[in-house]
């Protein structure tokens, strides 16, 4: 058994999932390993040490796992951004484009107060569409995003460039080539 020394070592690749030709980067193997999971959370937090973070916002669905752990570590609140129709209260919505269609994400309209500092997190950054929609929702509520952190980046899909063009600080733990 090879010793795992990097977050990337804990992530498995599943070939042809969910479609033929796709290399699916499965972070559930990272989450299942206590050393790997702690390493990922610590590394995601590191660039923001000493900064005030009022809330951590996680993108559906694996961003909830990461975001909950980070919020706990920081002793702050956690806010989910969910797919349309999943939140019970009054929400605001944002549509965005997917590779093959469109989707809508939502946030409770009272989840973030104007001026609160926000760290946006998710497991994977691909085209950046979901993150861009999340950023729009946070900014519409008056939140100030101090950074966005992801475990995996798929650089060929351009998500990081999109977020940086929007002026976002982007922190990535590892990259994988290919789709």
Of residues 78, 81, 71, the one with CA closest to residue 131: 81
pLDDT of residue 179: 64
Question: Residues 91-105: what's their mean pLDDT?
Answer: 90
- How confident is the prediction for the chain on average, in pLDDT? 96
DSSP 8-class letter at 11: -
What is the gyration radius of the CA atoms in the chain, in angstroms? 16
Structural domains present in the chain: 52-175 (3.40.50.2020)
Asked if 62 is an active-site residue, the reply is: yes
Q: What is the pLDDT of residues 59-88, one digit of tens each?
A: 999 999 999 999 999 999 999 999 999 999
Q: Measure the CA–CA gap between 170 and 148, rounded to whole angstroms.
A: 5
pLDDT of residue 93: 98
pLDDT of residue 1: 63
pLDDT of residue 101: 81
Instruction: Please provide residue 154's backbone torsions phi and psi, each rounded to the nearest 5 degrees.
Output: -110, 85
pLDDT of residue 157: 93
Exposed / middle / buried, residue 178 (Cβ in 10 Å: 0-12, 13-18, 19+): exposed
Q: Measure the CA–CA gap between 22 and 14, rounded to whole angstroms.
A: 8
Asked if 156 is an active-site residue, the reply is: no
pLDDT of residue 3: 85
Task: Mean pLDDT check: name the lowest of 30-44, 96-110, 155-169.
Answer: 96-110
Question: Of 25, 38, 60, 99, which one is the catalytic site residue?
Answer: 99
Q: What is the pLDDT of residues 11-55, one digit of tens each?
A: 999 999 988 988 999 999 999 999 999 999 999 999 999 999 999
The answer to whether residue 2 scores a pLDDT higher than 90 is no
Question: Of 25, 62, 82, 160, which one is the catalytic site residue?
Answer: 62
Q: Using an 8 Å Cβ cutoff, are 7 and 39 in contact?
A: yes
pLDDT of residue 115: 98
């Amino acid at each position: 058994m090879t010793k795992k020394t990097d977050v990337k070592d804990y992530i498995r690749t599943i070939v042809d999932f969910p479609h033929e030709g796709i290399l699916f980067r499965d972070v559930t193997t990272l989450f299942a390993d206590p050393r790997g999971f702690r390493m990922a959370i610590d590394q995601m937090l590191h660039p923001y040490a000493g900064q005030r973070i009022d809330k951590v916002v996680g993108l559906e669905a694996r961003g909830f796992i990461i975001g909950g752990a980070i919020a706990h570590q920081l002793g702050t609140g956690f806010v989910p951004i969910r797919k349309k129709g999943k939140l019970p209260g009054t929400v605001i919505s944002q549509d965005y484009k997917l590779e093959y269609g469109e989707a809508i994400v939502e946030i409770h309209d009272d989840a973030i107060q104007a001026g609160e500092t926000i760290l946006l997190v998710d497991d994977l950054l691909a085209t950046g569409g979901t993150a861009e929609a999340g950023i729009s929702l946070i900014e519409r509520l008056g939140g100030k995003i101090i950074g966005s952190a992801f475990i995996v980046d798929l650089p060929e899909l351009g998500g990081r460039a999109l977020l940086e063009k929007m002026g976002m600080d982007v922190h990535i733990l590892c990259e994988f080539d290919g789709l």
